[in-house]
Chains A and B, each alone.
Chain A
Amino acid sequence: DTEVTQTPKHLVMGMTNKKSLKCEQHMGHRAMYWYKQKAKKPPELMFVYSYEKLSINESVPSRFSPECPNSSLLNLHLHALQPEDSALYLCASSIRGTGAFYNEQFFGPGTRLTVL
């Protein structure tokens, strides 16, 4: 199994809703990532989990709450989002956890989020 899966593919939510995005990989990778991508822009790093511990938070607003229940699963909990949070949310994983990040990242297909 050499893929990263993400659910749901599409999500529409109101500003008062609570929802979660899910990401899963079964490649034995020890680092997992959340990115936000706006149209025609590169992905922006949000969070990095290394060996199931949060190692990087790129000053993301608290309305985004990541969770890594185990080495294969990564969640992103969403609450009280704003319309400007509408974007493609990408999950990725890589072999190594701490230290060198130079190994390539494998990306999931993304969740298209629309906040009304």
Chain B
Amino acid sequence: AQTVTQSQPEMSVQEAETVTLSCTYDTSESDYYLFWYKQPPSRQMILVIRQEAYKQQNATENRFSVNFQKAAKSFSLKISDSQLGDAAMYFCACSGNTPLVFGKGTRLSVIA
């Protein structure tokens, strides 16, 4: 079984600045994937970025990048050049041979 911990219930960032959301996980599986999902107030859950555990290179999607530290079981999300549209609930999730396990989420506010 997996567990996912997000220790920051709320974060805020100034528009155009950079923010990092933290996530730690625990799993006994050797093959697993990690995800960051975004859920704006409009409620649709959208995949932001994914990381395969066997890949050492950190995943990047435009302004979104991760810092994957496998030994420390850490998977943080960095958002660069923050935009108003980035305001949302962000969920970290882990999946191996069992369905997605979500963290409790971090609510990100973007200040104009």
Contact = CB atoms under 8 A, between A and B. Distances in A.
B102 interface: yes
Contacts, number: 56
B85 interface: no
B99 A56 contact: yes
B104 A42 contact: yes
Contact size class for A?
Answer: 20 to 34
A107 B37 CA distance: 10
A40 B105 contact: yes
Interface string B88-112: 0101000111111011110100000
B45 A104 contact: no
A23 B12 CA distance: 34
Given A42-B105, A43-B102, A104-B50, A88 B43 contact: yes
Interface in A62-109: 88, 90, 92, 99-109
**Could you tell me the dominant secondary structure of chain B's interface residues?**
loop
Interface residues of B, number: 25
Given A88-B43, A104-B50, A99 B100 contact: no
Interface in B20-42: 31-33, 35, 37, 42
Nearest to A6: B44
B53 to A, nearest CB: 9
A90 B29 CA distance: 27
Nearest to B96: A102
A45 interface: yes
A53 to B, nearest CB: 15
A33 B31 CA distance: 22
A103 B103 CA distance: 18
A55 to B, nearest CB: 10
Closest 8 CB pairs of A and B: A42-B102, A107-B45, A102-B33, A102-B95, A109-B44, A101-B99, A101-B95, A104-B47
Interface of A: 33, 40-43, 45, 48, 56, 88, 90, 92, 99-110
